[in-house]
Structure 1
Amino acid sequence: MDKTIKNIGTLKGKVLLFGGVYSNLQALEQLKHMAEQHGIPPENCICTGDIVGYCAQPEETVQLFKLWGAQSIAGNVELQLQEGAEDCGCDFKKGSRCDTFSQQWYPFAQSKLSQDSLNFMKTLPDHIQFRYAGKKATVVHGSSENISEFIFKSTPWEVKAPNFIAMKSDVIIAGHCGLPFHDQHEDLLWLNPGVIGMPANDGTPQVWCAIMEETKNGLIFEHISFDYHYQLTSKLMQNGLLPEEYARTIITGIWDNTEILPPVESGLQGFGITV
């Protein structure tokens, strides 16, 4: 199937980047407030996908996202939901803890979403492209070819490089892996702003986004962590239908397991994020 690419032209002013809202309404509310404080218009707020996920308010989260008017590509979760698939498509290893947990949160999300929200997901493109600070940027979920590919800071540049060629881009903005990082090679930049729906396995309940800005010296960016009403998010998840382990992670900032992580990232669990 051909990929759908939405070209949103040349952006001016600050650009807010984020991913993995994961049905976390409280985090999305705080992010929207932050954007307004920074004077960033909705069209300059871009999500790398997975608006729906592990938390307790999928319908409310999608509806707020629509009301806000921010931009987003489809994550693997949106693709699976709009197609009525039986699993989240996260490419978890069969029988793993993540796979087991997905058999709880994914059916929960399916049961809560309205037809209006599902119709909204069908409008989301596979990629977004734009020009900024003289560079061409492409937003992908996992990678340009595989929506469910996990790419991390420690992933070899040789794995990242073909994405720039395939998308004819100078900047790749990606999501899916759940951790904020950037990797620069000469004039090419791989930027993952992180996710706002779950902590980054760093031992704090804070979540992550990034802001890009155009200066006289070109493109600059900053990774930003922020607090939100995570106690409420965790409490709402303790409904007997969602994994208790994920509700605990919202508070502790520690993932239940590191089975999707390469050795480098796994070894950094609880030590904070260095970006």
Structure 2
Amino acid sequence: MDKKIEDLGKLSGKTLLFGGVYSNLQALEALIAVAQAEGIPAQNCICTGDIVGYCAQPEESIQAFQYWNAKSILGNVEIQLREGAEDCGCDFKKGSRCDGFSQLWYPYAQSKLSKNSIAFISKLPDHIQFKYANKQVCIVHGSYFNVSEFIFKSTPWTRKLSNFETTKSEIIIAGHSGLPFQHAKNNHLWLNPGVIGMPANDGNTSVWYAILDDKDGILTYRHHTLNYNYKLTHTLMANTLLPSAYAKTIMTGIWDNTEILPATERGLQGFDILI
């Protein structure tokens, strides 16, 4: 299938970047409040995909996102829901803990979404591109070539480089991995703003997003942490058939397992993220 790419033309002013809402309505509402406080218009707020995921309010999260009128690309979860598939398409190893958990949260999310919400996510593009501070930017979920590819800071630059070359971009904004990071090399930048639906395995209940700015025509970018009503998110998850391990992560900031992580990121579990 041909990729659907939405070109936003030239953007300017503060631009809010985030990923992985994961059906966490409380985090989404907190982020919308940040955008309003910062004076960032909805058209400058962009999600790297997976609006739906592990938490308890998939339908409410889609509705809130639609009302906000922010931008998003397709995550692997949206693609699978659009297709009526039986699994989340996360590329988890068969029989792994993450695979087992997905057999609980994915059908839960699938059962909660209205036809209108499925229609909304079905219209999302595979990628978004735009010009910002005289640089070409492309938004991907995992990578340009594979929506479910896990790319981390420790991932070799050669695997990242092909994305820049193919998209003719100087900046790649990516999601899927669940961890915020930035990796700059040879005038190129791979930026993962992090996700707002789950903590970043750092032992903190706060979650992550990023803001681009082009004040005086100079590109700057900064990661930020987001506090939200995580206790309510946990309570709502605990009162469903969702994985209790994911509800626990909301409270502890620690992932149940590190099976998707490379050795470098695995060794940083429980440590504050320094960006």
The TM-score normalised by the length of structure 2 is 0.99
Equivalent position amino acid for 1:219 in 2: L
In structure 1, C-alpha distance between the alignment counterparts of 2:272 and 2:178, rounded to whole Å: 14
In structure 2, C-alpha distance between the alignment counterparts of 1:14 and 1:216, rounded to whole Å: 12
Matched, 1:196 2:191: no
Matched, 1:207 2:207: yes
Matched, 1:117 2:117: yes
Offset at residue 215 of structure 1 (A):
2.7
User: What SS class does the counterpart of residue 257 from structure 2 fall into?
Assistant: coil
The total of aligned residue pairs comes to: 275
In structure 1, C-alpha distance between the alignment counterparts of 2:56 and 2:215, rounded to whole Å: 40
Judge conservation of contact 2:22–2:55 (CA < 8 Å) in 1.
yes
Give ranges in structure 2 of 5+ residues lacking alignment. none
Offset at residue 216 of structure 1 (A):
2.9
What residue in structure 2 maps to residue 70 of structure 1?
Answer: 70
Judge conservation of contact 2:56–2:240 (CA < 8 Å) in 1.
no
Give identity over the alignment, percent: 65
Equivalent position amino acid for 1:66 in 2: Q
User: What SS class does the counterpart of residue 216 from structure 1 fall into?
Assistant: helix
Please give the per-residue CA displacement for 1:155-210, whole angstroms capped at 9, x wherever unaligned.
01011000001111000000000000000002100000000000000000000000
What residue in structure 2 maps to residue 258 of structure 1?
Answer: 258
Equivalent position amino acid for 1:18 in 2: F
Please give the per-residue CA displacement for 1:88-136, whole angstroms capped at 9, x wherever unaligned.
0000000000000000000000000000000001110000000000000
Equivalent position amino acid for 1:154 in 2: S
What residue in structure 1 maps to residue 16 of structure 2?
Answer: 16
User: What SS class does the counterpart of residue 183 from structure 1 fall into?
Assistant: strand
The TM-score normalised by the length of structure 1 is 0.99
What residue in structure 2 maps to residue 102 of structure 1?
Answer: 102
Matched, 1:59 2:59: yes
What residue in structure 2 maps to residue 5 of structure 1?
Answer: 5
What residue in structure 2 maps to residue 82 of structure 1?
Answer: 82
Please give the per-residue CA displacement for 1:4-48, whole angstroms capped at 9, x wherever unaligned.
100011011100000000000000000000000000000000000
Offset at residue 218 of structure 1 (A):
1.7
In structure 2, C-alpha distance between the alignment counterparts of 1:189 and 1:18, rounded to whole Å: 16
User: What SS class does the counterpart of residue 17 from structure 1 fall into?
Assistant: strand
Divergent runs of 4+, >2 A: none
User: What SS class does the counterpart of residue 39 from structure 2 fall into?
Assistant: coil
What residue in structure 2 maps to residue 186 of structure 1?
Answer: 186
Offset at residue 217 of structure 1 (A):
6.0
Offset at residue 240 of structure 1 (A):
3.9
User: What SS class does the counterpart of residue 269 from structure 2 fall into?
Assistant: coil
